[in-house]
Structure 1
Amino acid sequence: MTTVEDFHADHDDWPWNPPRPGRATFHYLIMITEGELRHDVDHVTWTVAPGQWLWVRPGHVQCWHDPGTARGPFVLFEPDVLRPDIATLLRPVTAHDAPTVLTPEPHDAPWLERTALQLLDEHRALGRRPLATHHALRRSLLEALLLRLAHSPDRDPRTSHAAARSTARRPLYDQFLDAVELHYRELHHVDDYARLFGCSVRTLSRATRTAAGTGARQVIDERRLLEARRLLGHAGWTAHAVTAHLGFPDTADFGRFFRNRVGLTPAAYAARQATPGTDTPR
């Protein structure tokens, strides 16, 4: 637990001078109280205004911009810090495809800020209370913060599609997303997942379209494409390596898949991402 301004002060150059992308291994949750924060998540540049929250989740590729005058509490936590029952309640907002920028409802915003500041105070008060009590308070405050944030509807139109995907879910669609996240490397067809759930392709496709407004095949393809972009743009993998990792028959097939959806060859995309300032603004 820290603040944007303290994090900036503690890291003179890294990670914003020069910008260096990295893959998150835990959750980054930042509330902006002053100024404006720009932050790249999966090669999209987001602008976070006062009162909004940025949420970077494990697996996302992120890249910092110089925070400048941005101020606000900054929470970092690993997924296993949450109790299992709380983690279940938070699944819609901890999922990799949940909204990146959250805009709480006005009546929730002051409460959320106060809780974040209480969490910061408790984090800095190591030694004030017995260690077990200190850790229990930190976890309780974090869970309260996340639960309130999760159930304050996102009103940011820039994330309306993602918000719909994370709030309008149905049980079968939830299971489908979990299965895609686990098996996107080896299972590439809708009927593969339908067999997992013992349902027809039509039933799974209907459930996906009802919950997300898109087809089941598109969900699978989007997850594979996202991973390809992460590996080509951040990890510096070759098209051949990504082809094998994601289970494409050959490099030509992967190249067609990628070019049809991105408009660039894998090599051209990798070269573009290696050039600062080429991310898509939001």
Structure 2
Amino acid sequence: MVTRRQNLSSKPRLSSPDGFVARADAASVPLYSFQPPVGTPYGLEVTTIEDFYAHHDDWPWNPARPGRATFHYLILVTEGELRHEVDHITHRVDPGQWLWVRAGHVQCWHEPSGARGPFILFEPEVVRPDTARLLTSLTSPGAPAVLAPHGDDVPWLEQTAFQLLDEHRALGRRSLAAHHSLRCSLLEALLLRLAHSPGVPEPPADTGSGSSSTPGTATKSALDRHHTYERFRDAVELHFREFHRVDDYAAMLGCSVRTLSRAARTATGTGAREVIDERRLREARRLLGHSRWSVQAVASHLGFTDTANFGRFFRHHTGLTPADFRARGCS
């Protein structure tokens, strides 16, 4: 379980995937690593919202303290209402819905006393590589923070989550290897079912190299778009500070602007330009919300020609000026 003792902000070398803690003001946003209770095997822990609330008393929601983690938070609300801030957007999670805070996201807890339900914490490495490939749309940084599964899936997901909780608490009932394998299998079953929630793009079918039949034109086209988007997403993550035009990324990836735009729209429902802007906006929120950088420094870091252009960009997407957003704080 993450605790106050796990504050790694003084060790910026242990940065999140996008390196924000190391590049910006490390002391402003603590980074937490995964440290389950003694005796709990491997990078997976399962508890409940109510137990987490009872164990931590008033931390970290009184006062609200932002933080980032190297692992995933996955919470199902079965009763009450949970409010949680992810990358400076406050989300409301109602019964039957799931909150997913992905590794590296800035989050801010709200007092959760009225909410109940399973609370799963896991490191990305717990998911097998073949399963992880099927979950790229769900685990990407831009995927929805709140998942509202299809009605038929809601009871199944809840039952599986409580089975996972029961197995986690049954350490010693069976061999350690079988115990961990069963926990991981239940977790992967949950994630694969959640991947079909509304708002999560459907990944194309993987035909595999060993298939005896030739995939149809439509399937091959879908796979090509999926692979193009994956390369685009990785390129944006590496270069969003210096490259801001779709033309730049199309040239980098060796494809046309039209091909890149189609790939982005198939994967995310938005255009390639929106993907680029969303990544810049997410970084702007992080830096404005939890660093001591000036607005001018943030604008320069993100490649804007001047503070006025940055201000227009930020206000267009959020309805707030950078200064107003910073003054609002974590709420």
TM over 0.5: yes
* Residue 71 in structure 1 maps to residue 127 in structure 2: no
Q: How many Å separate the matches in 1 of 2:124 and 2:238? A: 16
Matched residue of 1:167: which SS?
A: coil
Aligned match of 1:187 in 231, 243, 266?
Answer: 243
Unaligned 5+ runs, structure 1: 155-162, 277-282
Q: How many Å separate the matches in 2 of 1:14 and 1:47? A: 20
Native 8 Å contact 1:22 1:234 kept in 2: no
Which residue does the alignment assign to 2:84? Answer: 39
* Residue 121 in structure 1 maps to residue 177 in structure 2: no
Q: How many Å separate the matches in 2 of 1:21 and 1:50? A: 24
Q: Pairwise mapping of residues 78-89 of structure 1 onto structure 2 (< 5 A)?
A: 78-89=123-134
Aligned match of 2:183 in 122, 131, 138?
Answer: 138
What's the TM-score, normalizing by structure 1?
A: 0.84
Native 8 Å contact 1:2 1:75 kept in 2: yes
Q: C-alpha offsets along residues 222-277 of structure 1, whole Å, 9 cap, x if unaligned?
A: 21011111121133433244234333345454344334443444233211225x4x
Q: How many Å separate the matches in 1 of 2:233 and 2:152? A: 32
Which residue does the alignment assign to 1:262? Answer: 318
CA displacement at 1:140 relative to structure 2? 1.4
What's the TM-score, normalizing by structure 2?
A: 0.72
Q: How many Å separate the matches in 1 of 2:253 and 2:318? A: 31
Same amino acid, percent of matched pairs: 70
Which residue does the alignment assign to 1:160? Answer: none
Size of the alignment, in residue pairs?
A: 265
CA displacement at 1:136 relative to structure 2? 1.6
CA 1:126–1:213: 2 relative to 1, 3 Å: closer
Q: How many Å separate the matches in 2 of 1:210 and 1:104? A: 20
Native 8 Å contact 2:137 2:203 kept in 1: no
Which residue does the alignment assign to 1:246? Answer: 302
The 4+ residue runs of structure 1 with deviation greater than 6 A are none
Which amino acid in the other structure matches residue 109 of structure 2?
A: W
Which residue does the alignment assign to 2:67? Answer: 22
Q: How many Å separate the matches in 1 of 2:79 and 2:293? A: 38
CA 1:186–1:134: 2 relative to 1, 3 Å: farther
Q: How many Å separate the matches in 2 of 1:61 and 1:17? A: 17
CA 1:132–1:224: 2 relative to 1, 3 Å: same
CA displacement at 1:212 relative to structure 2? 4.3
Q: C-alpha offsets along residues 121-173 of structure 1, whole Å, 9 cap, x if unaligned?
A: 2211222222222222221111111112212x32xxxxxxxx16x33884233
Q: CA RMSD in A?
A: 2.3
CA displacement at 1:209 relative to structure 2? 4.2
Which amino acid in the other structure matches residue 139 of structure 1?
A: C
CA 1:187–1:35: 2 relative to 1, 3 Å: same
Q: How many Å separate the matches in 2 of 1:113 and 1:195? A: 46
Matched residue of 1:71: which SS?
A: coil
CA displacement at 1:41 relative to structure 2? 1.7
Bigger relative contact order (CA 8 A; separation at least 6):
1
Unaligned 5+ runs, structure 2: 1-45, 205-224
